[in-house]
Chains A and B, each alone.
Chain A
Amino acid sequence: MKTDIRKINIPLIAGTALVLLTAAVALVSCFWTPYALDDTAGGLRLSAPGALHWAGTDKLGRDLFSQLMVGARYAILVAVLSPLISAVIGIPFGLIAATGGKILDESLSYLFDAMIAFPAILLAMLVVTVQGASMSSAILAIGFSSSAAVARVTRVNALHVLATDYVRAARASGVSRPAVLFRHVLPNISPMLFVQLTLVASGAILAEASLSYLGLGSPPPQASWGRMLMEAQSSVLTAPWGAVIPGCAIAVFVLGLNFLGDGIREIIDPEEEMNE
Protein backbone atom coordinates (compact mmCIF):
# COMPACT_ATOMS: atom_id res chain seq x y z
CA MET A 1 0.00 0.00 0.00
CA LYS A 2 2.84 2.38 0.84
CA THR A 3 4.44 1.83 -2.53
CA ASP A 4 1.25 2.65 -4.43
CA ILE A 5 2.05 4.63 -7.53
CA ARG A 6 -0.45 7.42 -7.22
CA LYS A 7 -1.69 9.27 -10.25
CA ILE A 8 0.18 12.52 -10.75
CA ASN A 9 -1.34 15.20 -8.55
CA ILE A 10 -1.39 18.12 -11.02
CA PRO A 11 -3.02 20.70 -8.72
CA LEU A 12 -0.45 19.99 -6.03
CA ILE A 13 2.48 20.43 -8.43
CA ALA A 14 1.01 23.53 -10.13
CA GLY A 15 0.04 25.08 -6.80
CA THR A 16 3.43 24.46 -5.23
CA ALA A 17 5.17 25.91 -8.31
CA LEU A 18 3.06 29.11 -8.36
CA VAL A 19 3.40 29.67 -4.62
CA LEU A 20 7.15 29.03 -4.76
CA LEU A 21 7.45 31.43 -7.69
CA THR A 22 5.81 34.20 -5.66
CA ALA A 23 7.97 33.37 -2.65
CA ALA A 24 11.12 33.46 -4.79
CA VAL A 25 10.22 36.87 -6.24
CA ALA A 26 9.54 38.15 -2.72
CA LEU A 27 12.89 36.82 -1.53
CA VAL A 28 14.80 38.38 -4.42
CA SER A 29 13.08 41.73 -3.76
CA CYS A 30 14.71 41.82 -0.34
CA PHE A 31 18.13 42.04 -2.00
CA TRP A 32 17.56 43.43 -5.45
CA THR A 33 14.95 45.31 -7.47
CA PRO A 34 15.55 46.92 -10.89
CA TYR A 35 14.90 50.38 -9.42
CA ALA A 36 14.40 51.80 -5.95
CA LEU A 37 10.70 52.16 -5.09
CA ASP A 38 10.88 55.93 -4.82
CA ASP A 39 13.09 56.38 -7.92
CA THR A 40 11.33 58.81 -10.29
CA ALA A 41 14.58 60.14 -11.82
CA GLY A 42 13.90 58.72 -15.28
CA GLY A 43 10.90 61.02 -15.48
CA LEU A 44 9.20 58.62 -17.85
CA ARG A 45 5.59 58.79 -16.67
CA LEU A 46 3.18 56.07 -17.67
CA SER A 47 5.66 54.51 -20.04
CA ALA A 48 4.68 51.19 -21.60
CA PRO A 49 6.47 47.96 -20.68
CA GLY A 50 9.82 47.79 -22.47
CA ALA A 51 13.52 47.07 -22.07
CA LEU A 52 14.07 49.94 -19.64
CA HIS A 53 11.03 49.32 -17.45
CA TRP A 54 9.89 45.70 -17.79
CA ALA A 55 6.39 46.43 -16.56
CA GLY A 56 6.26 50.11 -17.41
CA THR A 57 6.05 53.02 -14.99
CA ASP A 58 3.27 54.64 -13.01
CA LYS A 59 2.06 58.23 -13.20
CA LEU A 60 4.97 59.42 -11.04
CA GLY A 61 7.51 57.59 -13.18
CA ARG A 62 8.23 54.82 -10.64
CA ASP A 63 9.14 51.38 -11.95
CA LEU A 64 6.15 49.03 -11.76
CA PHE A 65 8.17 45.84 -11.87
CA SER A 66 10.05 46.85 -8.73
CA GLN A 67 6.75 47.63 -7.04
CA LEU A 68 5.41 44.27 -8.14
CA MET A 69 8.40 42.47 -6.62
CA VAL A 70 8.14 44.28 -3.30
CA GLY A 71 4.38 43.72 -3.40
CA ALA A 72 5.02 39.97 -3.51
CA ARG A 73 6.76 40.32 -0.16
CA TYR A 74 3.63 41.74 1.44
CA ALA A 75 1.45 39.21 -0.33
CA ILE A 76 3.49 36.39 1.20
CA LEU A 77 3.34 38.09 4.58
CA VAL A 78 -0.45 38.30 4.34
CA ALA A 79 -0.71 34.72 3.08
CA VAL A 80 1.27 33.40 6.04
CA LEU A 81 0.20 35.62 8.94
CA SER A 82 -3.54 35.87 8.28
CA PRO A 83 -4.11 32.08 8.29
CA LEU A 84 -1.84 31.85 11.33
CA ILE A 85 -3.98 34.35 13.22
CA SER A 86 -7.19 32.68 12.10
CA ALA A 87 -5.79 29.31 13.22
CA VAL A 88 -4.69 30.61 16.63
CA ILE A 89 -8.18 32.01 17.25
CA GLY A 90 -10.29 29.53 15.28
CA ILE A 91 -8.88 26.15 16.31
CA PRO A 92 -9.25 26.58 20.11
CA PHE A 93 -12.78 27.94 19.73
CA GLY A 94 -13.69 25.12 17.36
CA LEU A 95 -12.41 22.56 19.87
CA ILE A 96 -14.26 24.26 22.73
CA ALA A 97 -17.47 24.15 20.72
CA ALA A 98 -16.93 20.47 19.90
CA THR A 99 -16.31 19.42 23.51
CA GLY A 100 -18.01 22.01 25.68
CA GLY A 101 -21.51 20.56 25.82
CA LYS A 102 -24.71 21.43 24.06
CA ILE A 103 -25.33 24.99 25.23
CA LEU A 104 -21.77 26.19 24.65
CA ASP A 105 -21.65 24.41 21.30
CA GLU A 106 -24.88 25.95 20.06
CA SER A 107 -24.06 29.48 21.18
CA LEU A 108 -20.56 29.31 19.68
CA SER A 109 -21.93 27.86 16.43
CA TYR A 110 -24.38 30.76 16.16
CA LEU A 111 -21.49 33.13 16.77
CA PHE A 112 -19.42 31.48 14.01
CA ASP A 113 -22.36 31.66 11.61
CA ALA A 114 -22.97 35.31 12.44
CA MET A 115 -19.29 36.11 11.88
CA ILE A 116 -19.28 34.28 8.57
CA ALA A 117 -22.46 36.05 7.49
CA PHE A 118 -20.93 39.42 8.32
CA PRO A 119 -18.98 40.69 5.28
CA ALA A 120 -15.30 40.20 6.05
CA ILE A 121 -14.35 43.42 4.33
CA LEU A 122 -16.71 45.41 6.59
CA LEU A 123 -15.22 43.81 9.68
CA ALA A 124 -11.75 44.54 8.36
CA MET A 125 -12.70 48.17 7.69
CA LEU A 126 -13.91 48.42 11.27
CA VAL A 127 -10.58 47.17 12.65
CA VAL A 128 -8.60 49.36 10.28
CA THR A 129 -10.65 52.42 11.25
CA VAL A 130 -9.96 51.80 14.92
CA GLN A 131 -6.31 50.84 14.52
CA GLY A 132 -5.34 53.09 11.64
CA ALA A 133 -4.45 51.93 8.15
CA SER A 134 -1.39 49.72 8.18
CA MET A 135 -0.30 46.34 6.92
CA SER A 136 -0.48 44.83 10.40
CA SER A 137 -4.01 45.98 11.11
CA ALA A 138 -5.10 44.66 7.70
CA ILE A 139 -3.54 41.27 8.49
CA LEU A 140 -5.09 41.25 11.96
CA ALA A 141 -8.50 42.15 10.60
CA ILE A 142 -8.40 39.52 7.86
CA GLY A 143 -7.12 36.85 10.23
CA PHE A 144 -9.80 37.64 12.76
CA SER A 145 -12.66 37.66 10.28
CA SER A 146 -11.64 34.33 8.72
CA SER A 147 -11.18 32.65 12.11
CA ALA A 148 -14.89 31.78 12.25
CA ALA A 149 -14.62 29.61 9.14
CA VAL A 150 -11.58 27.86 10.64
CA ALA A 151 -13.46 27.35 13.91
CA ARG A 152 -16.39 25.81 12.06
CA VAL A 153 -14.20 23.40 10.11
CA THR A 154 -12.36 22.49 13.32
CA ARG A 155 -15.65 21.87 15.16
CA VAL A 156 -17.18 19.65 12.49
CA ASN A 157 -14.08 17.53 11.98
CA ALA A 158 -13.36 17.31 15.71
CA LEU A 159 -16.91 16.08 16.34
CA HIS A 160 -16.36 13.43 13.70
CA VAL A 161 -13.11 12.24 15.28
CA LEU A 162 -14.55 12.42 18.80
CA ALA A 163 -17.28 9.98 17.75
CA THR A 164 -14.82 7.36 16.51
CA ASP A 165 -14.15 4.15 18.35
CA TYR A 166 -10.48 4.92 18.85
CA VAL A 167 -11.36 8.04 20.81
CA ARG A 168 -13.93 6.09 22.82
CA ALA A 169 -11.31 3.40 23.35
CA ALA A 170 -8.81 6.02 24.51
CA ARG A 171 -11.40 7.49 26.89
CA ALA A 172 -12.23 4.02 28.15
CA SER A 173 -8.56 3.40 28.85
CA GLY A 174 -8.45 6.47 31.09
CA VAL A 175 -7.11 9.16 28.75
CA SER A 176 -8.63 12.46 29.87
CA ARG A 177 -10.72 14.62 27.57
CA PRO A 178 -8.06 17.31 26.92
CA ALA A 179 -5.38 14.67 26.37
CA VAL A 180 -7.56 13.00 23.74
CA LEU A 181 -7.78 16.32 21.88
CA PHE A 182 -4.01 16.57 21.57
CA ARG A 183 -3.26 12.89 21.10
CA HIS A 184 -5.97 11.92 18.62
CA VAL A 185 -8.17 14.79 17.49
CA LEU A 186 -5.66 17.42 16.36
CA PRO A 187 -3.44 15.03 14.37
CA ASN A 188 -6.47 13.53 12.63
CA ILE A 189 -8.07 16.84 11.65
CA SER A 190 -4.83 18.58 10.65
CA PRO A 191 -5.08 17.74 6.91
CA MET A 192 -8.58 19.24 6.71
CA LEU A 193 -7.39 22.27 8.65
CA PHE A 194 -4.48 22.71 6.31
CA VAL A 195 -6.81 22.77 3.30
CA GLN A 196 -9.01 25.33 5.05
CA LEU A 197 -5.98 27.47 5.88
CA THR A 198 -4.83 27.58 2.24
CA LEU A 199 -8.32 28.86 1.40
CA VAL A 200 -7.99 31.46 4.15
CA ALA A 201 -4.64 32.45 2.66
CA SER A 202 -6.00 32.98 -0.84
CA GLY A 203 -9.02 34.82 0.58
CA ALA A 204 -6.65 36.98 2.61
CA ILE A 205 -4.71 38.03 -0.51
CA LEU A 206 -7.95 39.13 -2.17
CA ALA A 207 -9.15 40.87 0.99
CA GLU A 208 -5.85 42.67 1.42
CA ALA A 209 -5.97 43.81 -2.21
CA SER A 210 -9.51 45.11 -1.66
CA LEU A 211 -8.51 46.91 1.53
CA SER A 212 -5.48 48.46 -0.16
CA TYR A 213 -7.64 49.41 -3.12
CA LEU A 214 -9.95 51.24 -0.69
CA GLY A 215 -6.90 52.95 0.81
CA LEU A 216 -7.21 50.94 4.04
CA GLY A 217 -4.18 48.71 3.54
CA SER A 218 -0.49 49.49 3.63
CA PRO A 219 0.40 53.20 3.45
CA PRO A 220 2.41 54.52 0.44
CA PRO A 221 6.09 53.76 1.04
CA GLN A 222 5.19 50.06 1.03
CA ALA A 223 4.00 48.63 -2.23
CA SER A 224 1.05 46.29 -2.19
CA TRP A 225 -0.62 44.84 -5.25
CA GLY A 226 -3.98 46.24 -4.19
CA ARG A 227 -2.59 49.75 -3.89
CA MET A 228 -0.95 49.44 -7.29
CA LEU A 229 -4.43 48.70 -8.66
CA MET A 230 -5.85 51.75 -6.94
CA GLU A 231 -3.11 54.04 -8.24
CA ALA A 232 -3.47 52.72 -11.77
CA GLN A 233 -7.21 53.30 -11.77
CA SER A 234 -7.09 56.94 -12.91
CA SER A 235 -4.99 56.07 -15.94
CA VAL A 236 -6.49 52.69 -16.77
CA LEU A 237 -7.58 53.77 -20.27
CA THR A 238 -4.27 55.34 -21.28
CA ALA A 239 -1.96 52.91 -19.47
CA PRO A 240 -3.90 49.67 -18.89
CA TRP A 241 -0.76 47.65 -18.01
CA GLY A 242 -0.59 49.49 -14.68
CA ALA A 243 -3.74 47.69 -13.60
CA VAL A 244 -3.42 44.48 -15.63
CA ILE A 245 0.00 43.50 -14.32
CA PRO A 246 -0.69 43.65 -10.55
CA GLY A 247 -4.09 42.09 -11.30
CA CYS A 248 -2.34 39.15 -12.93
CA ALA A 249 0.07 38.88 -10.00
CA ILE A 250 -2.86 38.63 -7.58
CA ALA A 251 -4.61 36.10 -9.80
CA VAL A 252 -1.49 33.93 -10.14
CA PHE A 253 -0.80 33.81 -6.40
CA VAL A 254 -4.44 33.18 -5.45
CA LEU A 255 -4.68 30.48 -8.10
CA GLY A 256 -1.50 28.91 -6.74
CA LEU A 257 -2.88 28.81 -3.20
CA ASN A 258 -6.20 27.36 -4.38
CA PHE A 259 -4.41 24.70 -6.41
CA LEU A 260 -2.31 23.86 -3.37
CA GLY A 261 -5.48 23.40 -1.29
CA ASP A 262 -7.04 21.24 -4.02
CA GLY A 263 -3.87 19.17 -4.28
CA ILE A 264 -3.83 18.47 -0.56
CA ARG A 265 -7.54 17.67 -0.56
CA GLU A 266 -6.97 15.20 -3.37
CA ILE A 267 -4.42 13.38 -1.21
CA ILE A 268 -6.65 13.14 1.86
CA ASP A 269 -10.13 12.77 0.37
CA PRO A 270 -11.17 9.18 1.06
CA GLU A 271 -13.87 9.15 -1.64
CA GLU A 272 -11.29 10.05 -4.21
CA GLU A 273 -9.27 7.05 -3.10
CA MET A 274 -12.19 4.68 -3.37
CA ASN A 275 -12.79 5.73 -6.96
CA GLU A 276 -9.25 4.92 -7.96
Chain B
Amino acid sequence: MSYLEDDLRKALRRTEPSEDFVDRVLARVNRPAPPEPTWWELLAAVLRPPRLQWVALSVIVSVMIPFAGVQYRQERQYRAKGERAKEQLLLAVRVAGSKLHQAQKRVLEVGRMDTRL
Protein backbone atom coordinates (compact mmCIF):
# COMPACT_ATOMS: atom_id res chain seq x y z
CA MET B 1 0.00 0.00 0.00
CA SER B 2 1.36 3.29 -0.96
CA TYR B 3 1.58 6.34 1.28
CA LEU B 4 -0.81 8.17 -0.98
CA GLU B 5 -3.65 5.70 -0.44
CA ASP B 6 -3.01 5.77 3.25
CA ASP B 7 -3.22 9.55 3.33
CA LEU B 8 -6.43 9.53 1.29
CA ARG B 9 -8.04 7.00 3.56
CA LYS B 10 -7.16 9.12 6.58
CA ALA B 11 -8.50 12.24 4.96
CA LEU B 12 -11.78 10.72 3.82
CA ARG B 13 -12.56 8.69 6.87
CA ARG B 14 -15.88 9.35 8.58
CA THR B 15 -15.68 11.58 11.60
CA GLU B 16 -18.54 11.89 14.02
CA PRO B 17 -19.79 15.39 14.89
CA SER B 18 -19.38 16.63 18.40
CA GLU B 19 -22.15 15.96 20.85
CA ASP B 20 -23.44 19.56 20.92
CA PHE B 21 -23.48 19.90 17.11
CA VAL B 22 -27.23 19.36 16.80
CA ASP B 23 -27.93 21.85 19.58
CA ARG B 24 -25.73 24.47 17.99
CA VAL B 25 -27.39 24.04 14.57
CA LEU B 26 -30.85 24.26 16.09
CA ALA B 27 -29.88 27.33 18.11
CA ARG B 28 -28.67 29.11 14.99
CA VAL B 29 -31.79 28.20 13.01
CA ASN B 30 -34.09 29.43 15.77
CA ARG B 31 -32.14 32.67 16.35
CA PRO B 32 -34.29 35.76 15.39
CA ALA B 33 -33.29 37.54 12.17
CA PRO B 34 -31.17 40.68 12.69
CA PRO B 35 -33.22 43.93 12.32
CA GLU B 36 -33.10 45.91 9.01
CA PRO B 37 -30.54 48.73 9.29
CA THR B 38 -32.16 52.17 9.56
CA TRP B 39 -31.32 54.98 7.10
CA TRP B 40 -29.03 56.76 9.56
CA GLU B 41 -27.17 53.53 10.22
CA LEU B 42 -26.64 53.20 6.45
CA LEU B 43 -25.59 56.88 6.22
CA ALA B 44 -23.24 56.47 9.15
CA ALA B 45 -21.77 53.42 7.49
CA VAL B 46 -21.15 55.40 4.30
CA LEU B 47 -19.74 58.41 6.13
CA ARG B 48 -17.60 56.44 8.50
CA PRO B 49 -14.05 57.78 8.21
CA PRO B 50 -11.49 57.10 7.05
CA ARG B 51 -12.46 55.93 3.61
CA LEU B 52 -10.24 56.27 0.60
CA GLN B 53 -13.07 57.53 -1.61
CA TRP B 54 -13.81 60.36 0.83
CA VAL B 55 -10.21 61.39 0.92
CA ALA B 56 -10.15 61.41 -2.89
CA LEU B 57 -13.45 63.28 -3.06
CA SER B 58 -12.31 65.96 -0.61
CA VAL B 59 -9.13 66.48 -2.63
CA ILE B 60 -11.16 66.86 -5.83
CA VAL B 61 -13.60 69.29 -4.19
CA SER B 62 -10.81 71.37 -2.66
CA VAL B 63 -9.30 71.76 -6.14
CA MET B 64 -12.58 72.21 -8.01
CA ILE B 65 -14.13 74.91 -5.79
CA PRO B 66 -11.34 77.49 -6.23
CA PHE B 67 -11.12 76.64 -9.95
CA ALA B 68 -14.87 77.11 -10.41
CA GLY B 69 -14.70 80.35 -8.42
CA VAL B 70 -11.96 81.76 -10.67
CA GLN B 71 -13.88 80.67 -13.78
CA TYR B 72 -17.07 82.31 -12.52
CA ARG B 73 -15.28 85.56 -11.69
CA GLN B 74 -13.59 85.64 -15.10
CA GLU B 75 -16.94 85.02 -16.83
CA ARG B 76 -18.55 87.85 -14.87
CA GLN B 77 -15.71 90.24 -15.73
CA TYR B 78 -15.95 89.23 -19.41
CA ARG B 79 -19.69 89.89 -19.48
CA ALA B 80 -19.34 93.21 -17.64
CA LYS B 81 -16.67 94.36 -20.08
CA GLY B 82 -18.84 93.30 -23.01
CA GLU B 83 -21.90 95.10 -21.67
CA ARG B 84 -19.81 98.26 -21.15
CA ALA B 85 -18.50 98.06 -24.71
CA LYS B 86 -22.03 97.52 -26.01
CA GLU B 87 -23.33 100.57 -24.14
CA GLN B 88 -20.46 102.64 -25.53
CA LEU B 89 -21.25 101.44 -29.04
CA LEU B 90 -24.93 102.28 -28.70
CA LEU B 91 -24.01 105.70 -27.30
CA ALA B 92 -21.65 106.32 -30.23
CA VAL B 93 -24.33 105.35 -32.75
CA ARG B 94 -26.83 107.58 -30.94
CA VAL B 95 -24.47 110.59 -30.99
CA ALA B 96 -23.46 110.01 -34.63
CA GLY B 97 -27.09 109.59 -35.70
CA SER B 98 -28.35 112.66 -33.88
CA LYS B 99 -25.55 114.87 -35.24
CA LEU B 100 -26.16 113.60 -38.78
CA HIS B 101 -29.81 114.42 -38.32
CA GLN B 102 -29.03 117.93 -37.07
CA ALA B 103 -26.82 118.56 -40.10
CA GLN B 104 -29.47 117.22 -42.45
CA LYS B 105 -32.10 119.39 -40.77
CA ARG B 106 -29.93 122.46 -41.21
CA VAL B 107 -29.36 121.63 -44.88
CA LEU B 108 -33.11 121.28 -45.38
CA GLU B 109 -33.74 124.57 -43.57
CA VAL B 110 -31.18 126.35 -45.77
CA GLY B 111 -32.76 124.75 -48.83
CA ARG B 112 -36.19 126.00 -47.81
CA MET B 113 -34.87 129.52 -47.17
CA ASP B 114 -33.20 129.53 -50.60
CA THR B 115 -36.47 128.43 -52.18
CA ARG B 116 -38.36 131.25 -50.43
CA LEU B 117 -35.80 133.81 -51.65
Q: Do A and B assemble together? A: no
* Residues of B participating in the A interface, judged by any CB pair closer than 8 Å: none
Interface residues of A (CB under 8 A from B): none
